[in-house]
Structure 1
Amino acid sequence: MGRRGRNRRAARAGSATRRWSAALHRWLGLLVAAVLVFQLASGTLLLYRPEIFALTHPELFAATAGTVAAGPAEALAALHRALPQFSTSYAASVEGVWQIWDADYHRAAYIDPGTGNLLGTAEPDGGFWGVLLNLHDCGLSCETYPGYVAALNVTVPGADELTWGGLVLGVLGLALLLLTLSGTVAWWPSMGRFLRALRTKMRPRLDRGAYRAHRDLHDVGAVLALPLIVVWAVTGAGYALPFVGDAWYAVTGGVAPEHSFTADAAPEGAPDIGPDAALAAARTVLPGQELVFVIPPGPDQDHYLVGFQDGVAPARYGGVRTFSESDVAVDPHTGRAALYDGGPGQPWPEWLWESGNYGVHFGYLVPWWARALWFAAGSVSVYLVGSGLWTWWWRRRRIRRAARPVPAPRRAAAAVEQVPAE
């Protein structure tokens, strides 16, 4: 077979691949569109939730300058003096104040580190924002958030700790990734024509009717938002489905870390060293890093867990939902401290998947103004779902109209009009 024959065969194979990809893109999009649009819209709105919460609750973040800042132990003691019935779970450094959550992760108290005074309490995950969090993070399966649906919190048979709500989110993430890949394959020209086709697609024609305008804008929006859409799809699926993380490490050559720490056996009645001593011990393992949170021992944890960040201020970027890059475990009786997760020598695949995952997903690794890129990509993604549905409906309607039989009187009138005048 000559070169021309091989080229024709390759062109036919490529054309068939694009047709199948276009069909998969179309029908998969129709299948998940209703759920996907809510997931994308809720995530887009949540991008600026920390800043909105701080702006609408200025009294909670009115920290005063002091010569000695209250540490976690002083903050907890001050809270217990002000609210003796408040059951604490952990203390986090947020926007310059101590944010202390109750045991149910439902209500939070805010302590001024300069004076040790209680600034007030609030429900950061309540109301409208709580419903969005439950929808976006849990698939409505988190009992502590409003909008909880008990049926979605049932464990999937044969799956370890995977709820039906989590399964929906995981499958939705994989569907979004498949939509992205199939759309890319359906559009992708040959490598020789790629740049020319890209320049053409980036110049939408808005003067040739609504259908053509939305088709072109759909392609332009997909090209611009593609990197973040892929990030959201992969990380979103990975939160619920463990095999996605395994695939990540297989592709990048990394190794999933083993998080383990067991406290030493202590004599009965041995005193707890306290949060401040635990923080001091943790700082010997990771000196110079910024504190994110201190979690005391509890029913499911026999040690302190101290979270840090290096180079990114959680109070500035993470807002009311803090995340850590590195965690240190501390024995509550002996003060023995060991790196639990992260650390300066953490390989990049492990850091990106274990530590930076949440910050990349929500844009909390960058200041609020840079997060506008995430907001724009989220808004465009919602438009992609809507424009895809609209163009499919418009095209189907046009095909049905073309296939509809023309009435006999109209056919006769058309035939008369076609007779040339003598």
Structure 2
Amino acid sequence: MRRALIVAHRWSSLILGLVLVVECTTGVVLLYHAEIFRAQHSAFYQHTDTAPVISTEQAVELVRASDPAFDIGWVGTDGGIIAVGDKAYASAYSIDPGTGRINERVDLVEGPLGWLVNLHDCAFGCLSSPGAVPALHETVPLLDLTWSALILGVLGLLLVVLAVTGAIIWWPSLKRWKHGFRVRRRKGRFARDFDLHNVIGIISVPFLLMWGVTGAAIEMPFVEKAWLATTGGDTELAPAQDIYTPRPSAEGSRQISVTEATDSALRAKPGRLAYLMLPTPATPYYVASVAGDYAPYGERAFYSGDVSVYVNAADATDTKVVDKSHDRPLANTFYDKVFEPAHFGWLVNDWWRIVWAILGLSPLALMVTGLSTWFFKRRTRRNANAAKAKQRQPAIDRDA
């Protein structure tokens, strides 16, 4: 069994390890997506440190008046400015609330960051982002998945396999427990890299499992169900955020304003309004994303809320709060409020995310140390075979 695990661990990492390393390493960069985006667009985030002279509702009207063709879909706050975005979440205007002036309009998915997001999140299957490959957005025959989702899901499962098999292979006996964490620096390159591979691997196993399970589950829902079934969760729990039917209103009823919808949402769920989605003919209600005291998405740019509040566009008293920490099994709450947000590092500040970044580079370190020991063993075996061949050659010559 141990030999079989070693073979599975070695060859799966050799065949797909490089792709997995690229996926994990780009994820390290995207841990600081919000900070990088804000640094790149400093003019977008210009604001005065004075009392606001404009509300979010006035900001929406200001953008609508200055650019009538802009298809407004949401309004929110980030980094001290008011952001008014389009329905495709592809671009946004920023307004300085202290002066009431529009700063600029930026594309949210373009540039090098957009390319990295398309690589890491979509495997180049997001058609609206740079580097998109349309073929990867096609559906896989017999599967309800796109090719990009299949690629990312398989990589997530591969990471789980590598983490589990690596931990089992590493596991020492109780008497030799301390040997599992040693690094023999004076015993040659092979011993040093072999020990480094083991130590780095076992320390990073919890994060690798988290990234593997959640990464695969984002693309393959059955993985999330399998995890919930294993941890005692409810695998049949309906997505509550998809179930909302506003009360019927009288024909010709006035649509409530952005301010009224915001006030209603924050009465239903006190906290910080991250953004507010505006009503459409197909969805006659506002959707407020609110960050409470514990905000697992709090470090995300623009979309940092974790509780959804639905507000009837014609009746501010008709609301529905969807909080995944209520009326659910603990395993479901843990997955939605801790496990999945931990994938992106949004539940900790930029300093704590350094831990995520270091462990996110562990697949790269494991690839380097793993290849080093593999090449060393191959060269040693090749030299030994060559030496045996030379020893046999004189005997063959004498027989001739």
> TM-score, length-normalised on structure 1?
0.85
Amino acid at match of 1:172: L
Asked whether the equivalents of residues 86 and 102 of structure 1 are also in contact (C-alpha less than 8 Å), the reply is yes
Q: 2:349 aligns with which of 353, 364, 367?
A: 367
Q: Report the CA distance between 1:129 and its aligned residue.
A: 0.9
State the alpha-carbon separation in 1 of the partners of residues 161 and 381 from structure 2: 27
> Does 2:190 align with 1:211?
yes
Q: Percent identity?
A: 32
Amino acid at match of 1:89: G
Q: 2:28 aligns with which of 22, 40, 44?
A: 44
Report what 2:157 is aligned to: 174
Q: Secondary structure at the match of 2:308?
A: strand
Q: 1:294 aligns with which of 272, 276, 285?
A: 276
Q: Which stretch has the larger CA shift, 264-273 or 180-189?
A: 264-273
Cα shift readout 1:282-325 (whole Å, capped 9, x = no counterpart): 122212x111111112366342111111125689x524253322
User: For the structure 1 residues 169 and 187, does the alpha-carbon distance in structure 2 shift closer, same or farther, using more than 3 Å as the test?
Assistant: same
Report what 1:226 is aligned to: 205
State the alpha-carbon separation in 2 of the partners of residues 347 and 303 from structure 1: 29
State the alpha-carbon separation in 2 of the partners of residues 24 and 299 from structure 1: 53
Q: Secondary structure at the match of 2:43?
A: helix
State the alpha-carbon separation in 2 of the partners of residues 154 and 264 from structure 1: 38
Q: Which stretch has the larger CA shift, 381-390 or 398-407?
A: 398-407
Q: 2:68 aligns with which of 84, 98, 111?
A: 84
Asked whether the equivalents of residues 286 and 343 of structure 1 are also in contact (C-alpha less than 8 Å), the reply is no
Report what 2:398 is aligned to: none
Cα shift readout 1:238-278 (whole Å, capped 9, x = no counterpart): 10111122123222323334320023344554332132222
State the alpha-carbon separation in 2 of the partners of residues 409 and 362 from structure 1: 58
Report what 1:311 is aligned to: 293
Report what 1:143 is aligned to: 127
Q: 1:254 aligns with which of 211, 214, 233?
A: 233
Q: Report the CA distance between 1:53 and its aligned residue.
A: 1.9
Cα shift readout 1:37-77 (whole Å, capped 9, x = no counterpart): 11011101111121122223222222223434643322211
Report what 2:304 is aligned to: 323
Amino acid at match of 1:328: V
Q: Report the CA distance between 1:345 and its aligned residue.
A: 5.8
Report what 2:38 is aligned to: 54
State the alpha-carbon separation in 2 of the partners of residues 173 and 119 from structure 1: 40
State the alpha-carbon separation in 2 of the partners of residues 72 and 143 from structure 1: 31
Asked whether the equivalents of residues 288 and 308 of structure 2 are also in contact (C-alpha less than 8 Å), the reply is yes
State the alpha-carbon separation in 2 of the partners of residues 401 and 126 from structure 1: 52
Amino acid at match of 2:212: A
Asked whether the equivalents of residues 257 and 350 of structure 1 are also in contact (C-alpha less than 8 Å), the reply is no
Asked whether the equivalents of residues 40 and 378 of structure 1 are also in contact (C-alpha less than 8 Å), the reply is yes
> TM-score, length-normalised on structure 2?
0.89
User: For the structure 1 residues 300 and 237, does the alpha-carbon distance in structure 2 shift closer, same or farther, using more than 3 Å as the test?
Assistant: farther
State the alpha-carbon separation in 2 of the partners of residues 152 and 228 from structure 1: 28
State the alpha-carbon separation in 1 of the partners of residues 263 and 244 from structure 2: 18
Asked whether the equivalents of residues 110 and 118 of structure 1 are also in contact (C-alpha less than 8 Å), the reply is yes
State the alpha-carbon separation in 1 of the partners of residues 385 and 314 from structure 2: 80
Amino acid at match of 2:310: A
Q: 1:125 aligns with which of 77, 88, 109?
A: 109
User: For the structure 1 residues 299 and 150, does the alpha-carbon distance in structure 2 shift closer, same or farther, using more than 3 Å as the test?
Assistant: farther
**How many positions carry a matched residue from both structures?**
390
Amino acid at match of 1:254: G
**What are the ranges of 5 or more consecutive residues in structure 2 without an aligned counterpart?**
395-400
User: For the structure 1 residues 324 and 411, does the alpha-carbon distance in structure 2 shift closer, same or farther, using more than 3 Å as the test?
Assistant: same
Amino acid at match of 1:338: K
What does residue range 235-274 of structure 1 map to in structure 2 within 5 Å?
235-255=214-234, 256-259=237-240, 260-274=243-257
Amino acid at match of 2:257: G
State the alpha-carbon separation in 2 of the partners of residues 212 and 357 from structure 1: 35
User: For the structure 1 residues 43 and 321, does the alpha-carbon distance in structure 2 shift closer, same or farther, using more than 3 Å as the test?
Assistant: farther
State the alpha-carbon separation in 1 of the partners of residues 58 and 328 from structure 2: 33
Q: Report the CA distance between 1:89 and its aligned residue.
A: 2.0
Q: Secondary structure at the match of 2:275?
A: strand
Asked whether the equivalents of residues 262 and 303 of structure 1 are also in contact (C-alpha less than 8 Å), the reply is no
Cα shift readout 1:135-160 (whole Å, capped 9, x = no counterpart): 11112111111111111111233444
Q: Report the CA distance between 1:176 and its aligned residue.
A: 0.4
Q: Report the CA distance between 1:358 and its aligned residue.
A: 4.6
Asked whether the equivalents of residues 92 and 100 of structure 1 are also in contact (C-alpha less than 8 Å), the reply is yes
> Does 2:137 align with 1:153?
yes
State the alpha-carbon separation in 1 of the partners of residues 32 and 101 from structure 2: 28
> Does 2:12 align with 1:28?
yes
Q: Report the CA distance between 1:329 and its aligned residue.
A: 1.1
Q: 1:354 aligns with which of 328, 336, 350?
A: 336
